[in-house]
Amino acid sequence: MIETDILIIGAGPCGLFTVFEAGLLKLRCHLVDALPQPGGQLTEIYPKKPIYDIPGFPEVLAGDLIEHLMKQAEPFKPGFTLGERAEKLEKTEDGKFLLTTSRGTVHKAPVVAIAGGLGCFEPRKPPIANISDFEDKGIEYIVRDPNFYKGKRVVISGGGDSALDWTNYLANGVAAEVSLVHRSKSFRGHPDSVQKVLDMAAAGKIKLYTDAEVTGVGGNGVLKDITLQHTDASTTNIATDHWLPLFGLSPKLGPLAEWGLNIDKNSIEVNTFDYSTNVDGVYAIGDINTYPGKLKLILCGFHEATLMVQSAFKRIYPDKNYVLKYTTVNGVTGF
Ligand SMILES: Cc1cc2nc3c(=O)[nH]c(=O)nc-3n(C[C@H](O)[C@H](O)[C@H](O)COP(=O)(O)OP(=O)(O)OC[C@H]3O[C@@H](n4cnc5c(N)ncnc54)[C@H](O)[C@@H]3O)c2cc1C
């Protein structure tokens, strides 16, 4: 059994920053994440995108921000249980919590901080019977590393920002050939990105198929081609190395929804005094929580983590008095 002071569910940016803030109070943390690596949405969905609204960083790639957060947490030696979903939460007689994961790993802590973001997110998959035969063999739902597509033929499907942004990015000197397929002529993405895509299509830099969708995939072990069906019922076959259906992620709270927490539209209701939930000893921070005026931004999650650990400290050490000291005065002393 893994024992710690604060058990954090979700190793996204807010979970990682909690380790640092808790460490300043000499509280140890252990993180559990369903994904095989830390970083949450930033690592999984947009590692190479620049973020512009992190205080002190005029521009930082999402993947680099996670590296910095890992480094900042390092002195406090966080533990990780990765690639395992938090499934069952029980209260023990001594007032602590037992958390069991999908692989049966058991964790014990007096405080649980849920930093589960969008929950366990799954890509929205197109309804094509044999699609799973080619997943990670030419079909990817998320662009993890754009260099993976260097010199390759790529077909992208979708009409939102993700599809438009990756079309723009990959068509500019990365992929050998880029086609964008969308089922209508109007796009949901940012007007600037839409214009860029239309300009590239007009200049012959990409192939644009509107009023069409991919209805078939074929190959021999790996993806070789896809079939487009147009609204006039005609079809087109395209030879390709990769197909990226970028239809977004469908967020699912998953097991957290069964833990007796007050839930409002897939988010956990919290008290903004300390981001506590209705279950004593369980807190929720970052994208997963909701309260009047909530903004799903990384910097707001950092603030929530900072206040939350103060309350956690009082819960764990009710008789100790904590006096806030600046890091400029005390420095950072790890474990
Ligand atoms: C394309 C895009 C661009 C964005 N740009 C910006 C931006 O410029 N600025 C900004 O501030 N924000 C931006 N955001 C939003 C930002 O990414 C989120 O606010 C941030 O990721 C929230 O962090 P988090 O730690 O709360 O959750 P997440 O990053 O979502 O991490 C949550 C983690 O919890 C895990 N998890 C969930 N349930 C379980 C479970 N039951 N068991 C185990 N693990 C679980 C998930 O696997 C995930 O790794 C952007 C988001 C997207 C998609």
pLDDT in tens, 48-63: 899 999 999 999 999 9
Q: Which residues pair with 245 in a beta bridge?
A: 157
| The domain defined by 125-247 carries CATH number 3.50.50.60 | yes
Model confidence at 22: pLDDT above 90: yes
2-122+250-330 folds as: FAD/NAD(P)-binding domain (3.50.50)
Nearest-CA neighbor of 113 among 211, 210, 12? 12
C-alpha separations of 191 from 160, 161, 197, 208, 293 in Å: 11, 10, 10, 16, 27
In total, the chain counts a number of residues equal to: 335
The rounded distance, in Å, linking the Cα atoms of 186 and 158 is 11
Distance (Å) from CA 43 to ligand 1 centroid: 9
User: Where, residue-wise, is CATH 3.50.50.60 in the chain?
Assistant: 2-122+250-330, 125-247
Distance (Å) from CA 101 to ligand 1 centroid: 20
Asked if 228 and 201 touch (Cβ cutoff 8 Å), the reply is no
The reported pLDDT for the residue numbered 75 is 98
The reported pLDDT for the residue numbered 162 is 86
pLDDT tens digits for 102-139? 889 999 999 999 999 988 877 889 999 999 999 989 99
Model confidence at 178: pLDDT above 90: yes
The three-state (H, E, C) secondary structure of 178-208, written as one string: EEEECCCCCCCCCHHHHHHHHHHHHCCCCEE
Which residues in 153-165 are b (16+ Cβ under 10 Å) and which e? Answer: bbbbbbbbbbbbb
The rounded distance, in Å, linking the Cα atoms of 157 and 314 is 51
pLDDT classification of 253: cutoffs 50, 70, 90: confident
The rounded distance, in Å, linking the Cα atoms of 322 and 276 is 19
Nearest atom in ligand 1 to the alpha carbon of residue 87 is 41
Nearest-CA neighbor of 316 among 105, 96, 151? 96
Distance (Å) from CA 118 to ligand 1 centroid: 6
Nearest-CA neighbor of 65 among 48, 77, 82? 48
**The tokens 């597509």 sit on which residue?**
149
Model confidence at 47: pLDDT above 90: no
Distance (Å) from CA 123 to ligand 1 centroid: 14
pLDDT, mean of residues 281-305 = 98
The reported pLDDT for the residue numbered 11 is 98
Both structure tokens of 300: 């707001």
Residue of the CA atom closest to atom 10 of ligand 1: 297
The reported pLDDT for the residue numbered 325 is 87
The finding on whether 69 has its CB within 6 A of some atom of ligand 1 is no
For the chain, what percent of residues have pLDDT higher than 70? 99
